[in-house]
Amino acid sequence: MKTINFKAIYPHLIAVAVFLIVAVIYCKPALEGKVLQQSDVTQWKGMAQDALEYRQKNGITPLWTNSMFSGMPAFQISTEYPNNWLGAAQDVIITIGGTPSSIYIIAALMIGFYFFF
């Protein structure tokens, strides 16, 4: 039976801990409830309003919207995919513990870079 050499693992655990601490410090405003106003999110609400109203009224999602560019496919804006289990799993992982997703995203990117490097 092979034993685990914990002395070789400590530097990696310290690096991961440092990445987590840096992500929390960098995203401290998000922990305080501050949110950046993102114009693309605000504009999405306006672009998708027509499709959302149609879905609420008729129970089906339209695949075309006339609200922008004299018409465009609505699947690029607000289509729901009920069998998208990967998207649902991503939402659960990103919002673990109710903390802001930016902390998890930045920490995952730093840890992933570390191990791939």
The predicted-structure confidence for 17-67, as pLDDT tens digits, reads as follows 999 999 999 988 888 888 788 887 778 877 788 888 888 898 888 878 777
| pLDDT of 16 above 90 | yes
Instruction: Report pLDDT for 10.
Output: 92
Q: Give the model's confidence band at 100: pLDDT under 50 very low, under 70 low, under 90 confident, else very high.
A: low
Instruction: Report pLDDT for 64.
Output: 81
Higher pLDDT, 33 or 101: 33
41-64 burial by CB neighbour count: b if 16+ within 10 A, else e? eeeeeebbebbbebbeeeeebbee
Rounded Cα distance, 108 and 103, in Å: 8
